[in-house]
Structure 1
Amino acid sequence: MKGILTIFIVGLFAFLQTPWKAPVEADTLKNPMLGQEEAIKEGKKLFATYCAICHGDKGKGDGVAGAALNPKPTNLTTTTFHAQSDGAIFWKITEGRAPMASYKATLSEEKRWQLVSYLRTLKQ
């Protein structure tokens, strides 16, 4: 039993350390709110409510609740983050991956696209 638990823990650790990539088909999703100021404004409000606690007020991955998480929350201001398509970011918000929650049931599709629109403003 102890051996099985060790294998499980090692496997979980390896899973959490692998880069999080959205499936290729997520790149085909297009942001229907691209460049809309109202969407960005609404996305900023959603970010403050749902995301800042872990990702920090400026999106740098330094939120209060994020300090205890492994892996740490993503810095949403980096070139690496912004190299992703809007569809990939939308997919990650929708699906989640521990410790990040899925927002599929919490936020409407429109609100998730608003978040993507706001996240695009967080470049360094």
Structure 2
Amino acid sequence: MLIAAWLFCGVQACSRDMEKQPSYQPQEAPRLHSPVGSVPRMSRSVSTPLPTREELDEGARLFRINCSHCHGRDGTGNGPVVAYLKDQPADLHDPYVQGLSEAALYDTVTYGLAVEGRDVMPAFQGELSAEERRSVVGYVKSLPQPY
């Protein structure tokens, strides 16, 4: 019985199962981040509670300070620095933008946005707290859609 157990363990040690495991090669960069421009799958379906009046007011204040120079005070993408930008900022009233989930917008505000390898929107992860970013997203989602 002891010999059978020893043989079983020896055979298992020769298994090739590890060849299917991810491995790192010497000098390989760590794989810590998602590809640029990607949105985690869970972000598409997560919803958040409706923001309070205080959160919307705070979101509007933070939007004026951090976002209006590109997106304009009204969110239509006509801020004062647009003439100096390579890409037109998004009109936040647009049905496509308004159709995005709160989580997808939160990810965009947090990590920024890159298109074809170019940064088109900066990340605000280091500038705004998570609560402040949620307030901005709540404000953006509250903007009216055009008719």
Let me know the Cα RMSD of the aligned residues.
1.6
Aligned residues: 104
Superposition map of 1:1-124 within 5 A: 22-31=39-48, 34-97=50-113, 98-124=119-145
Distance in 2, matches of 1:123 and 1:44, equals 14
Q: Which structure shows the higher helix fraction?
A: 1
Give structure 1 stretches of 5+ with no counterpart. Answer: 1-19
Larger RCO, structure (CA 8 Å, separation 6 or more): 1
Q: Distance in 2 between matches of 1:21 and 1:85?
A: 14
Give the secondary structure class of the aligned counterpart of 1:35: coil
Deviations 1:43-93 (A, max 9, x none): 000000000000001000010112321221100001111110000000000
- Identical residues among aligned pairs (%): 31
State how far apart, in whole Å, the 1-side matches of 2:129 and 2:59 are. Answer: 12
CA contact (8 A) 2:51 2:135 kept: no
User: Normalization by structure 1: what TM-score?
Assistant: 0.76
Aligned to 1:120, what secondary structure does the other structure show? helix
User: What are the ranges of 5 or more consecutive residues in structure 2 without an aligned counterpart?
Assistant: 1-36, 114-118
Deviation at 1:118, TM superposition (A): 0.5
Asked if the contact 1:79/1:123 (under 8 Å) is kept, the reply is: no
Letter in 1 for 2:142: T
Greater radius of gyration (CA):
2
The residue identity in structure 1 corresponding to 2:138 is S
